[in-house]
């Protein structure tokens, strides 16, 4: 683990460096508080720090305060090295953001023990962050495909439409449904159906830009939100997605399966300001029109004045 030592005394720096290097730490040494803060505030900066209380440019407590203000994740465990022994000084140091302190001159074994305590706390912190991120992912993503779930993709669509209308841009909505998917489940089983859904999800993500959104809207329905996509490109993008799915069979445990998708398309530029619910209703109507037209095709939702 990387550890930063900040001390303006070269003899002290050298001694601590020797102790910690021998203990297996990757040691970074600086001679003032400003350099310490710069290193610790970097996203990939050290997670452990030994800071002398009195240093040029910034003292130890000021470094702690700066790091706590500027670096949110991951957490940095900071120990102040000080000759100050009054309770008032110790409290002031801890209130600045320090996690622990050592009174000079310190015992080498105690120093290493305090650092091991810091490592244990950082390990617990990392596990908590990992658990939080896992919970967040589960709350926002479909467990089978890994795409955004229905609640989140609809929320993202609503936000994007609001932004689009405010900035007078254009958002394209694609609602796709796998054709005859029930037959896949009935003929080959739900495990194969799940394989197909996962494969299609990957193809959809690969077919859009990194800033577009793809979500599982229903059983075999997928909702795609194409940001800053003008209406004259909407049909082209939809056709590219349809052909990407239709032209390459999906590999499954029961062999390759041919799969097609019907799509409804709606461009916000064609309609003007409308609610998210109205937009979903109209793109859903377009999807059903594609189904009625024989499937594996695209239909565009247009206002009556443009459809005529």
Query: Which has the closest alpha carbon to 115: 35, 34, 45, 16?
Result: 16
Question: What is the reported pLDDT for 201?
Answer: 98
Q: Domains in the chain, please, with CATH? A: 2-139 (3.40.50.2300), 150-307 (3.30.70.270)
Question: What is the reported pLDDT for 39?
Answer: 94
Question: What is the reported pLDDT for 231?
Answer: 82
Tell me the average pLDDT of the chain: 92
- Residues of the chain with pLDDT > 90, as a percent, come to 79
The whole-angstrom separation of Cα 76 and Cα 40 is 8
Across 9-32, average pLDDT = 92
Answer yes or no: is pLDDT of 305 > 70: no
The whole-angstrom separation of Cα 55 and Cα 34 is 9
Q: Catalytic residue positions? A: 220
- Residues of the chain with pLDDT > 70, as a percent, come to 98
Question: What is the reported pLDDT for 273?
Answer: 86
Question: What is the reported pLDDT for 160?
Answer: 95
Across 246-258, average pLDDT = 95
Quick one: pLDDT band at residue 307, thresholds 50, 70, 90?
Answer: low
- Residue 74, preceding peptide bond in cis (omega within 30° of 0): yes
Across 9-21, average pLDDT = 91
* 101, β-bridge pairs: 80
Instruction: Write out the H or E segment, with its range, that includes residue 271.
Output: helix 268-271
The whole-angstrom separation of Cα 229 and Cα 239 is 14
Task: Classify burial at 119, counting beta carbons within 10 Å of its beta carbon; exposed 0-12, middle 13-18, buried 19 or more.
Answer: middle
Across 214-238, average pLDDT = 93
Question: For 70-79, 147-156, 171-180, 264-273, which range has the lowest pLDDT when averaged over its residues?
Answer: 70-79
Question: What is the reported pLDDT for 306?
Answer: 62
What are the pLDDT digits (tens) for 42-89? 988 999 999 999 999 999 999 999 999 987 778 999 999 988 767 787
Polymer length of the chain:
308
């Amino acid at each position: 683990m990387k550890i930063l030592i900040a001390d303006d005394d070269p003899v002290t720096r050298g001694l601590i460096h020797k102790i910690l290097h021998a203990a297996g730490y990757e040691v970074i040494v600086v001679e003032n508080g400003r350099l310490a803060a710069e290193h610790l505030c970097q996203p990939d900066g050290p997670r452990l720090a030994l800071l002398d209380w009195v240093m040029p440019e910034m003292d130890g407590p000021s470094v702690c305060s700066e790091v706590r203000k500027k670096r949110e994740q991951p957490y940095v465990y900071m120990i102040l090295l000080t000759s100050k022994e009054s309770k008032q000084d110790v409290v002031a140091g801890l209130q600045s953001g320090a996690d622990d302190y050592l009174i000079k001159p310190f015992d080498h074994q105690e120093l290493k023990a305090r650092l091991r305590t810091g490592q244990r706390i950082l390990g617990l912190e990392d596990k908590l962050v990992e658990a939080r991120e896992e919970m967040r992912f589960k709350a926002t993503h479909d467990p089978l495909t890994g795409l955004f779930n229905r609640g989140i993709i609809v929320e993202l669509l609503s936000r994007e439409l609001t932004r689009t209308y405010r900035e007078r841009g254009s958002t394209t909505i694609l609602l796709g449904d796998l054709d005859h998917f029930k037959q896949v489940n009935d003929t080959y089983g739900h495990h194969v159906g799940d394989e197909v859904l996962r494969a299609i999800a990957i193809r959809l993500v690969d077919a859009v830009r990194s800033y577009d959104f793809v979500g599982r809207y229903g059983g075999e329905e997928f909702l795609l939100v194409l940001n800053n996509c003008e209406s004259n490109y909407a049909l082209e993008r939809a056709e590219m997605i349809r052909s990407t799915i239709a032209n390459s069979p999906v590999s499954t445990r029961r062999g390759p399966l041919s799969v097609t998708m019907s799509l409804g398309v709606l461009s916000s530029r064609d309609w003007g300001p409308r609610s998210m619910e109205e937009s979903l209703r109209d793109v859903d109507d377009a999807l059903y029109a594609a189904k009625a037209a024989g499937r594996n095709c695209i239909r565009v939702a247009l206002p009556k004045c443009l459809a005529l």
